[in-house]
A and B are shown apart, each in its own frame.
Chain A
Amino acid sequence: DVKVTQSSRYLVKRTGEKVFLECVQDMDHENMFWYRQDPGLGLRLIYFSYDVKMKEKGDIPEGYSVSREKKERFSLILESASTNQTSMYLCASLGLSTGLSGVGGYTFGSGTRLTVV
């Protein structure tokens, strides 16, 4: 089974801190994604990456950046954390050779609940 691991389940950070959220997948997937989930707003795409060194903005990239130095690792960076970035952050991966047909599309990590105080 594909495994997507997010390094922290819960984080509490102070306003203005630089925050790193790490995500690692073990199935050599090309595509990786960062979402945030908020009540009433569903899943919103922050950034995604199709390959090493590649990154593209999603729907809500402001206040975030990403890094993909290795294929298996996709990091989300909050340059200066703010209280409105308190949320559940979800990482996902997708293998191109698998695609979406007949399988479950994205594989998600367990999420990181970030609280910015």
Chain B
Amino acid sequence: DQQVKQNSPSLSVQEGRISILNCDYTNSMFDYFLWYKKYPAEGPTFLISISSIKDKNEDGRFTVFLNKSAKHLSLHIVPSQPGDSAVYFCAAISYGGSQGNLIFGKGTKLSVKP
């Protein structure tokens, strides 16, 4: 059973507009959520994270929103740039009984068109 779900395999956005990537989860015990960005032929790189006790975290053009009641988080990129085109992975972790295993979603491929 998938604990972290990214239901949109792809998303296409015009340069300068907002990109919204969504992620749903089923485990209410997750303590932390992270977003990773991956270019082809490269390893994923960390983008932004949020603790389960917060509802928003912002870093430059990137903002992550967490809605615990809906078990939903989203990544907003404003404004979107062509260099943002990549696969974005949502990930989550529960510290109870765990020593650091992230659970990843299947990813969403973002294409930002000039």
Report A's interface with B, CB cutoff 8 A. Answer: 4, 9, 31, 33, 35, 37, 40-45, 48, 50, 58, 90-92, 94, 96, 99-101, 103-111, 113
The smallest beta-carbon distance between B100 and chain A, in angstroms, is: 5
Proximity bits, B28-58, A CB within 8 Å = 1, else 0: 0000101010100111111001010000000
Complex Cα spacing A51 to B105, Å: 26
Name 4 extra pairs, CB < 8 A, besides A40-B106, A105-B32, A106-B46.
Answer: A35-B104, A42-B104, A96-B99, A105-B102
* B residues contacting the other copy or chain, number (CB 8 A): 25
Chain B residue at minimum C-beta to C-beta distance from A50: B99
Report B's interface with A, CB cutoff 8 A. Answer: 6, 9, 32, 34, 36, 38, 41-46, 49, 51, 89, 91, 93, 99-102, 104-107
